[in-house]
Amino acid sequence: MIFRILQIAIPFVWFGAVAAISFMEAPLKFTAPNITVPLGLGIGQIVFHMLNRVEIVLCVLLAASVYFGHSAGKMAAMFLGIAAAILAVQTFGLYPLLDDRAAAVIAGTAAPFSHLHIVYIVTDAAKLVVLAALGVTLIKRNLKM
């Protein structure tokens, strides 16, 4: 029973966290009075690193519930694998590059433009699509049993 609850809840909690941070908090913080780009980047690093840790925990919990619950099916396992792969690319590929870029911007030594944030936004958008599909798949699978 607990595995079914986790399988239904986690994709949507994960979706909500990513949507709220990446597509609301991140751009809105720069509209606040007296927030400079270096200050906003510093806050962003803290927030996104914490989001990344939360995402990893949610991914592991969801993978465990799928493995031990035996009710997820192949389609859900595929969506979970895609979400985990996107998370791994962001964690080990994009975050280190974005951290280096943020440090350069804060130090005043960055090139004027980088595509890294666009790549990150695209990967987050793709992850949201996959998480929504995963959540719907798991709801259908768990509620018909």
Taking only the tens place, the pLDDT of each residue in 17-33 is 999 999 999 889 989 99
pLDDT at 110: 84
Q: Which residues of the chain have pLDDT under 50?
A: none
pLDDT at 76: 93
Share of the chain above pLDDT 70, in %: 99
pLDDT at 145: 58
3-state secondary structure 54-68: HHHHHHHHHHHHHHH
Would you kindly state where each structural domain of the chain is located, as residue ranges? 2-143
Burial class of 63 by CB neighbour count within 10 A (0 to 12, 13 to 18, 19+): middle
pLDDT at 18: 98
